[in-house]
Amino acid sequence: MKVRFLLDENQSPRLKTAIIRLIPSADVLRVGDSTAPALSTPDMDLLRYLELTRRALITADRTTIPTHLEAHRTAGGLHWGIFWVRPRMPIGRLTESLQIIWEASEADDWINQENWIPF
């Protein structure tokens, strides 16, 4: 199964547009989309959603997600990849990194993996 992405609400809506342009067949949602968690969804609920839907999270949230991620793991939860976006990352470069992830790997390659992007 290909990697499926969920963009945290702290990511620009333009990122989703850029990904779809570069990788038309990619499955990408952004928090706040009609079929994704609502804006301001608590982190623990977001982590459960990611686990159930087998989506990797693209986020720059280094303030609250790490603590909730540890609690999620302690409760026996897993995740399908967390990609921490480096500060001031241009959308083009970020999109290219996600394209590499999408083309060169499968979803289960990222189970419980956390990485900074770009690598």
Give the residue extent of every domain in the chain. 4-117
- C-alpha span between 119 and 116 (Å, rounded): 6
Task: Report whether 27 contacts 51 (CB < 8 A).
Answer: no
Three-state SS for 8-45 is CCCCCHHHHHHHHHHCCCCEEEECCCCCCCCCCCCHHH
- What's residue 62's pLDDT? 86
Q: For residue 119, is pLDDT > 90? A: no
pTM attached to this predicted model: 0.94
Burial readout 59-92 (b: 16 or more C-beta within 10 A, e: otherwise)? bbbeeebeebbeebeeeebebbbbbbbeeebeee
pLDDT digits (tens, 9 = 90+) for 22-48: 999 999 999 999 999 999 999 999 999
- What's residue 71's pLDDT? 94
pLDDT digits (tens, 9 = 90+) for 58-110: 999 888 999 999 999 999 999 999 999 999 999 999 999 999 999 999 999 99
* Order of all β-strands in the sheet with 27-30: 27-30, 4-7, 56-59, 82-85, 114-117
In CATH, the number for domain 4-117 is: 3.40.50
The residue with tokens 């038309």 is 24
